[in-house]
């Protein structure tokens, strides 16, 4: 039986460590602070951001939730970011995406001071990450590394294949694996004979954003499979493709009209030695790593 890599347990462990570090900093008169900028009223974003603010409170971090109206302009948002960049009580700035159409997201994210970019999206942090210098890494790829390390999965010398080349997950995940001395291959939808490449992976990271894209024949027996994907399916034929005969998922589909599936077909997990489930895997580490990044930003800003 493959081992299930429990994202909830690992996230809880990281949060405990963050809370302890916050206490140590408080003893020195410092309290890490996070500013969360939530524009307009997108229900999913509101739930996500409020969860982040709540976690700040639980771990002892200061948080400031800022809610501009959905009519806000790029210029107004740039002024807000400039104010947050200048505030000494704010160590991390989180701009929740998506933003309204009239706001230039790229210009806005680039305006965040790199030392406060706790999402790790700024080109300066991307460059520092590539150069192996101290940087704020994107939360999801950083979470992938934490799962591997804390589960005892050997990374050094392993053949790691990352399927997906996004700036948010695929590329930084590959770079972090490389820094841990893995031999890394980045694949994508245009890779020729993709299955031949993925079958060589000791560690397979799926981050391509397509439901069930990684099938059983694409997985090396005994590989560790990290599924970053979160895809909602609401069509019966799609559900049957992944979960036919699964009583628990059937009940969830009947109740909600949809279920979540990752980028890996559930049948492929059975071939692995260990895997992250969806839900319950990588996604649960994102907020924990955001908190860790905020503390890291606070210490880096103060030369600690």
**202 tagged catalytic:** no
Catalytic residue among 91, 96, 117, 220: 96
**54 tagged catalytic:** no
Catalytic residue among 15, 52, 171, 220: 52
**β pairing state of 33-37 and 62-66:** parallel
Nearest by Cα to 32 from 81, 93, 75: 93
**96 tagged catalytic:** yes
* Strand (E) or helix (H) holding 248: helix 247-256
Say how far apart CA 283 and CA 289 lie, in whole Å: 10
Write phi, then psi, for 207 (nearest 5 degrees): -145, 50
Write phi, then psi, for 301 (nearest 5 degrees): -65, -30
Catalytic residue among 91, 119, 202, 263: 119
CA 255 to chain centre: 28
Taking 3-state DSSP, the helix, strand and coil percentages for the chain, each rounded to the nearest 5, stand at 45, 15, 40
Contact 221, 271 (CB under 8 A): yes
Q: Which residues contact 142 (CB under 8 A, 6 or more apart)?
A: 120, 176, 289, 292, 293
Contact 261, 209 (CB under 8 A): no
First to last CA, the chain: 44
Nearest by Cα to 129 from 186, 183, 169, 96: 169
Residues catalogued as catalytic? 52, 96, 119
């Amino acid at each position: 039986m493959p081992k299930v890599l429990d994202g909830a347990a690992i996230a809880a462990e990281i949060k405990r460590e963050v809370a302890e570090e916050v206490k140590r900093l408080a003893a020195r008169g410092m309290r890490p602070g996070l500013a969360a900028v939530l524009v307009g009223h997108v229900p999913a974003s509101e739930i996500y951001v409020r969860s982040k603010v709540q976690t700040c409170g639980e771990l002892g971090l200061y948080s400031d939730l800022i809610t501009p109206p959905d009519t806000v302009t790029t210029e107004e948002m740039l002024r807000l970011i400039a104010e947050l960049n200048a505030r000494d009580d704010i160590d991390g700035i989180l701009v929740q995406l998506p933003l309204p159409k009239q706001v230039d997201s790229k210009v806005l994210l680039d305006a965040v001071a790199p030392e406060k970019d706790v999402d790790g999206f700024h080109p300066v942090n991307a460059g520092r990450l590539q150069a192996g210098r101290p940087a704020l890494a994107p939360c999801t790829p950083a979470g992938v590394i934490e799962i591997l390390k804390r589960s005892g999965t050997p990374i050094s010398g392993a053949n790691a294949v990352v399927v997906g080349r996004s700036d948010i997950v695929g590329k930084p995940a590959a770079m972090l694996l490389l820094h841990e001395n893995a031999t890394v291959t980045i694949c994508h939808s245009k890779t020729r004979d993709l299955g031949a490449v993925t079958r060589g992976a000791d560690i397979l990271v799926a981050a391509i954003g397509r439901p069930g894209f990684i099938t059983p024949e694409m997985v090396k027996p005994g590989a560790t499979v990290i599924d970053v994907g979160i895809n909602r399916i609401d069509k019966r034929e799609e559900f049957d493709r992944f979960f036919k005969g699964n009583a628990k998922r059937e009940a969830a589909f009947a109740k909600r009209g949809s279920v979540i599936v990752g980028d890996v077909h559930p049948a492929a997990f059975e071939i692995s030695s260990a895997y992250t489930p969806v839900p319950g895997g990588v996604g649960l580490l994102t907020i924990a790593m955001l908190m860790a990044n905020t503390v890291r930003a606070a210490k880096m800003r103060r030369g600690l």
